[in-house]
Amino acid sequence: MTMKELENFASLFGDSSKKFEKTSLQGAWQKYANPNLIPLEEGAWERAVVEKYSTDSKD
């Protein structure tokens, strides 16, 4: 999505005065990150897949 498209989208909600700062997705989420959890993120996706698709019966 281009910056112009993003500004047009914002105008649908009645506030076209806001300007959007161009940033990376990583940079956008970084301000919400808990630094204590960053080491736990390494391999989290792989662990979630193993947990979800594990053939071990838990019933």
Query: Is there a domain that residue 18 lies in?
Result: no
Within-domain flag for 10 = no
Domain count, the chain: 1
Query: What range defines the domain where residue 43 resides?
Result: 23-53
Look at 22 and 33; give whichever has higher pLDDT: 33
To the nearest whole number, what is the mean pLDDT of the chain? Answer: 76
Name the pTM for this structure.
0.35
What's the rounded Cα separation, in Å, for the pair 38 and 3? 30
Instruction: Check residue 49 and give its pLDDT.
Output: 93
